[in-house]
Structure 1
Amino acid sequence: MIPTIPQSATIRTLRLTYVAAFFLFLFIPLIVVVAFAFNDAAYPMPPWHGFTLDWFLADGNQDRTGLFFDQDIQTSLWYSFKVAVAVSIISVLLGTCNAFLLERFRFRGQQVLSVMMLLPLVIPGVILGISILALMSHIAQFAEDMAGWDLDFLRPGLVLVAIGQISYIASITTLTISARLKRFDVSLEEAALNLGASNWAIFCTIILPYLKPALAGAAMIAFLLSFENFNTTYMLTGSAAPLTVMIYGRMKDGATPVVNAISLLLMLVSAGFVLVMNLRKSKATTN
């Protein structure tokens, strides 16, 4: 529709109804999860038994252990944080290299490489995890049989979880950084070369500052995708279970509202990242 054309009251009412219904569909489940994080009951479900902070602050007395005193949760949070930081750093580095390879060079098979890079994004996470697990297990077994090397990091564990997540998150960081690099004014680089600057100096003083918003955004996206991933992580995890796998295990065994408390924490962290990204984007636009 053309915005300047007057619309009837019926059209406006239908539009507002659709918008309201859409946002209710999105946010009512989240509101329910948040509300029952404060429910004074043993299970994260109706009816409401009163307000409590036990699922955050209980120290283990009265058969309740809150989020901030649950050692298993804190350990799994630490595992997820370590993996997410490693995945973010490596994915941004790979994404930067890939972006320069695709945007600054021309070679045979470049289009095929561009398409192949997108395949991990359309492959189901479970299939991706199983494939990586099978490949790495065969490599580790082959190395042990042929040379006696114990490549334990290729067995299910946090290292393999990071490898599995990087296999598709690197594609996302590549797209993010490539979109920024594509808009770079090459004449600035040519002018610096004419003035005698080295390639490394040009990269550090011109290209890198220009790419900084994309690098920061790609790092935040990679961190969130890694921290909240379940499908691939579940197939590759070992005894050290990241947060999403630990929550899944608790849901199978009978969850308490502490799971709702974890969900609230993840929502706040994700919202914080999105807010920072939007603020950086607005700042970059104004500059």
Structure 2
Amino acid sequence: MIPSIPISRRFQTTYALYVGVFFLYLLLPLVVVILFSFNDSLFPSLPWKGATLDWYLGAREPRLGIFNDGELLGGVWTSIIVASATTLLSVGVALCNAFLFEREHFFGKNFLYVMMLVPLVIPGVILGVSILIFSSSVANQLDDLWGIEIEGLRPGLLLVVLGQFAFITTISTLVISARLRKFDQSLEEAALNLGASRFTAVATITLPYLKPAILGAAIVSFLMSFENFNTTLMLVGSDAPLTIAMFDRLKEGSTPVINAVSTLLMLFSGLLAAVSIFVQRPPTGKN
């Protein structure tokens, strides 16, 4: 809405009602998930049978809580390993990509930039299947021709990391590039004129300026990797990340422990999102 244009009270009321209904539509399913994680019932559904912490702290079946569920905790640890590896690879390559596309001029630059964006428009399932077929074909050829067996090309955590890295790197590149585009290169030139090397100028001036974007990209990469399902499902082996472990558990029959896991994931994602907003907030100085 434009402040300078007169707006009727009816329009203001309708607009406020629309915004309220929109956020209610977004938040109500999350609230329901949280509430049923405390429901004293073996099923995550009505009727409400009272409050309990069994789905968080329960130590025995059939009320085994998340903090005592070895399978789900193992999935959490596997997800942390995959997300950490994916984040390190994605942010490292994204930083190089940002300098390449923002600082350098070369033949085919626009084509490469478009190709970098392609994984964002490819469905995760298709991306996972493509990587799986390619890696399996290479592994089979190496085994048939030279008798070389490379387990890393078979379904497993390495392929999961590579599959997630394929599209998360693009997002990290866009985040870092957006901030690098605003950087005043005359600061680097001044450092070079004072005798600093190119590496020193970038390390002491440019990278500190990019630090909020790098941290923000790392947080986004970690969250996207931790919660990814489509690509991971196609590439996973015997070690299942949390999303796959939850999917397997749902196939056996849902219990409120899944709600408890979802509640903790929402809390964890919210905290990381808050940290991301905080680190990217511009510093405020005193007048």
TM-score normalised over the length of structure 1: 0.97
Q: How does 1:124-143 map to 2 (within 5 A)?
A: 124-143=123-142
Q: How does 1:154-233 map to 2 (within 5 A)?
A: 154-233=153-232
Residues 137-173 of structure 1: CA distance to partner in whole angstroms, max 9, x if unpaired? 1111122222222210111111110000000000001
2:9 equivalent in structure 1: 9
1:268 equivalent in structure 2: 267
Pairing 1:27–2:44 present: no
2:256 equivalent in structure 1: 257
Task: Give, in angstroms, the shift of residue 92 of structure 1.
Answer: 0.2
Number of equivalent positions: 285
Distance 1:161 1:220 in 2: 18
Aligned residue for 2:56, secondary structure, equals: helix
Distance 1:2 1:175 in 2: 30
Pairing 1:52–2:52 present: yes
Residues 14-33 of structure 1: CA distance to partner in whole angstroms, max 9, x if unpaired? 01110110001000000000
Tell me which amino acid in the other structure corresponds to 2:253. Answer: G
Distance 1:110 1:279 in 2: 34
Distance 2:229 2:87 in 1: 16
Residues 23-55 of structure 1: CA distance to partner in whole angstroms, max 9, x if unpaired? 010000000000000000001111111100000
Aligned residue for 2:34, secondary structure, equals: helix
Distance 2:280 2:11 in 1: 34
Q: Which stretches of structure 1, 4 residues or longer, exceed 6 Å deviation after superposition?
A: none
Residues 204-245 of structure 1: CA distance to partner in whole angstroms, max 9, x if unpaired? 111110110010000000000000000000010011111001
Distance 1:94 1:123 in 2: 20
Structure 1: gaps of 5 or more residues: none
Residues 218-276 of structure 1: CA distance to partner in whole angstroms, max 9, x if unpaired? 00000000000000000100111110011111111101100000000100010001111
Task: Give, in angstroms, the shift of residue 115 of structure 1.
Answer: 0.7
Query: Identity of aligned pairs, percent?
Result: 53
Distance 1:136 1:78 in 2: 25
1:111 equivalent in structure 2: 110
Q: Normalized per residue, which structure has more helix?
A: 1
TM-score normalised over the length of structure 2: 0.97
Q: For the Cα contact (< 8 Å) 2:175–2:217, is it kept in 1?
A: yes
Tell me which amino acid in the other structure corresponds to 1:45. Answer: S
Residues 173-202 of structure 1: CA distance to partner in whole angstroms, max 9, x if unpaired? 111111111111110111111111011111
1:286 equivalent in structure 2: 284
Distance 1:86 1:286 in 2: 34
Tell me which amino acid in the other structure corresponds to 1:267. Answer: M
Aligned residue for 1:83, secondary structure, equals: helix
Tell me which amino acid in the other structure corresponds to 1:49. Answer: K
Distance 2:284 2:55 in 1: 43
Task: Give, in angstroms, the shift of residue 285 of structure 1.
Answer: 4.4
Larger mean Cα displacement after TM superposition, 144-153 or 118-127: 144-153
Residues 42-70 of structure 1: CA distance to partner in whole angstroms, max 9, x if unpaired? 01111111100000000115x21001000
Tell me which amino acid in the other structure corresponds to 1:126. Answer: V
The CA RMSD over aligned residues, in Å, is 1.0
Q: For the Cα contact (< 8 Å) 2:213–2:280, is it kept in 1?
A: no
